[in-house]
Structure 1
């Protein structure tokens, strides 16, 4: 079931007349939900949504705020049957690395152009910082707030910042935002409705409720994603629909995937909404890809489908989805074959650091091992991480924070963070959404070094130089740093490192 980039369906409530070719009129073409993604060090994907299809989406850009002397366009304006909007994607190419640009999608009514800074070229060893969130959903009345339904654990305290507000307040402190899975949590419309958090519950109106939550999230994210690249990965909630068999105890009904809508199944909305640098890295769609930023090679993996052992779907990694999602590769072991090649091509003299992310954790002190820990991920990815000296592996899925020691096959590296041989594993799924936080199992695993399951927060990665990397857990509520640890690696020991460095 490979995605089709050419298929354009008409969403509910949008007439055929609204899909006419763009003729200079901006009726229904006003950009919203603006978002960026790196397309190599010399490119940037610009994406936005409109209420009607644009035949040729176009972006004007330049290095001067009052002189947008360049433009780029595409024919990519896509949607799916239950969507209320179209997703427009344009790639800007031929850009200078680490350079500020001003840009405007055509038909924007913004009086001031938006801005972005391109990726640092590989080999640029200047310090930089990246922000990471996982399992972050809609905030406010449609998601995480100071009140909760019966399933919402640990609501926000009055006056406390949520994670989106925290990121926006520190917008100038990081180069890009990485979100490896569980985006918006709009599939929670059913659970929120049954538990009384959303009023006027009706399964028949599920499509409208789902799209309302989804659009609210992307609207909330726009102040961040319109100026900082927003790199995403697939999580189970990009394919989830029935929330693990949600039950309405009042009416004695347990819902199944029979109520699923196209936007919630087979990663349909996710595939339409984003454009990640898979073409530039020979990856696959928004599922697996890599990109360089200065001294670091970043890799996004798909822990939900295509996990080697053949072409498998989410059910076989312990998910609650129960839908037919993927595979997306056309060949056996396509993702692991790609990963092996991608890692082998890394020039450690230019990008000594390698950081990998996948949605599900490799290691975690969680309640249910079969659904929390990705055993298949351990099996197919860990040997490659060790063989190619991966430095850090990030994950989420469990809605808590746990920083572990460097590990391989449950064995703790004796050097801990002082030049370890094994990869360092950190899980941070504490960004927050309607369902709140999970409780970790005490006592914690022997490989755990610090954990929190009562505070919402995000990760801040600071690459100081070619030998030192700091990870911080930032509390969303007040911006304080509740955990910090620094990894030291002597990358000169690695293959591909040249003596002049």
Structure 2
């Protein structure tokens, strides 16, 4: 999301994006980061090109300094008769065209916005939840091939990311889980021993146990520093994290607390990821206070 940096009033602004962008600019200026990942619902321009200008102006202080990697979301792609999986008017008729012009990712072709990259010891598989993902579709076959081809001796960590989540305990009004998507793609995560799954779409922060088929396969234990630690030496299932709290109005959680949901936070912020060959460390940072509100790590001995 976006808001004008000079406090003017514009179409469809998300003021929460101001604190997040300011915090990210400070983080990037430290020189400690290699990339930023923004997994869908990029600018909410919804057909107004000037809104892309506002967004690009907002992110320039940090996006101009390192790689700014993106995934496509419903507000970039979905429209009636556009070929998207979900027949909604969410892109305002953009149908992914401005998005792919402004953010050309290493995808196989136009309107096939799925790709993978490797950074250090991490392989990132980035998908489109808005394009067909059912078994035997082009994207499904690509996902299957990409993850199966990862050399885990060279890049021991596998992170899977896309826009719409497989799990959320948000209030019923904002629940956006497609059971067909889960049934189609989740088995690939387990088969390929995905360590971490990152999604957006729901505007809050939520972290799960090691989760598969709606059930906890393992829970973290606290290390000597009190940090929740998932031991993937004997792999059980991936950890899911929803990180959709970067600017749009926050979504409320359901009063019903799912057993697989370990942490739920309604604050604007972002997630830091640091990886070594033996440890994947994540921290959720509140953009208003700059305080770490949740942290966990995945280890492999």
Task: Give yes or no for contact 1:181–1:232 (8 Å, CA) kept in 2.
Answer: yes
1:90-115 Cα offsets, whole Å, 9 max, x none, are: xxxxxxxxxxxxxxxxxxxxxxxxxx
Residue 431 of structure 1 pairs with residue 246 of structure 2: yes
Task: Give yes or no for contact 1:275–1:286 (8 Å, CA) kept in 2.
Answer: no
1:181-222 Cα offsets, whole Å, 9 max, x none, are: 0011122xxxxxxxxxxxxxxxxxxx6xx2222211111111
Q: How many pairs align?
A: 276
Residue 272 of structure 1 pairs with residue 98 of structure 2: no
Taking the aligned partners of 2:118 and 2:271, their CA distance within structure 1 comes to 19
Q: How far has the Cα of 1:456 moved from its partner?
A: 0.4
Task: Give yes or no for contact 1:239–1:265 (8 Å, CA) kept in 2.
Answer: yes
1:298-320 Cα offsets, whole Å, 9 max, x none, are: 111111121215xxxxxxxxxxx
Q: How far has the Cα of 1:275 moved from its partner?
A: 1.2
Q: What TM-score do you get using the length of structure 2 for normalisation?
A: 0.84
Residue 345 of structure 1 pairs with residue 156 of structure 2: no
Taking the aligned partners of 2:271 and 2:91, their CA distance within structure 1 comes to 33
The 5 Å alignment of 1:30-429 reads: 136-139=1-4, 140=7, 141-142=9-10, 143-145=13-15, 162-171=19-28, 172-187=31-46, 210-240=48-78, 264-279=93-108, 287-308=113-134, 333-368=137-172, 371-416=175-220, 417-419=230-232, 420-429=235-244
Q: How far has the Cα of 1:377 moved from its partner?
A: 2.6
Residue 456 of structure 1 pairs with residue 294 of structure 2: no
Taking the aligned partners of 1:432 and 1:274, their CA distance within structure 2 comes to 19
Taking the aligned partners of 1:468 and 1:284, their CA distance within structure 2 comes to 35
Taking the aligned partners of 2:300 and 2:107, their CA distance within structure 1 comes to 28
Secondary structure of residue in 2 paired with 1:482: strand
Taking the aligned partners of 2:139 and 2:172, their CA distance within structure 1 comes to 26
Taking the aligned partners of 1:369 and 1:375, their CA distance within structure 2 comes to 16
Q: What TM-score do you get using the length of structure 1 for normalisation?
A: 0.52
Q: How far has the Cα of 1:285 moved from its partner?
A: 5.2
Task: Give yes or no for contact 1:430–1:437 (8 Å, CA) kept in 2.
Answer: yes
Instruction: Provide the aligned C-alpha RMSD in A.
Output: 2.4
Q: How far has the Cα of 1:340 moved from its partner?
A: 1.0
**Alignment partner, residue 104 of structure 1:** none
Taking the aligned partners of 2:250 and 2:197, their CA distance within structure 1 comes to 21
Secondary structure of residue in 2 paired with 1:340: helix
Taking the aligned partners of 2:102 and 2:282, their CA distance within structure 1 comes to 29
CA 1:423/1:230 → structure 2, altered by over 3 Å: closer, same or farther? same
Q: How far has the Cα of 1:392 moved from its partner?
A: 0.3
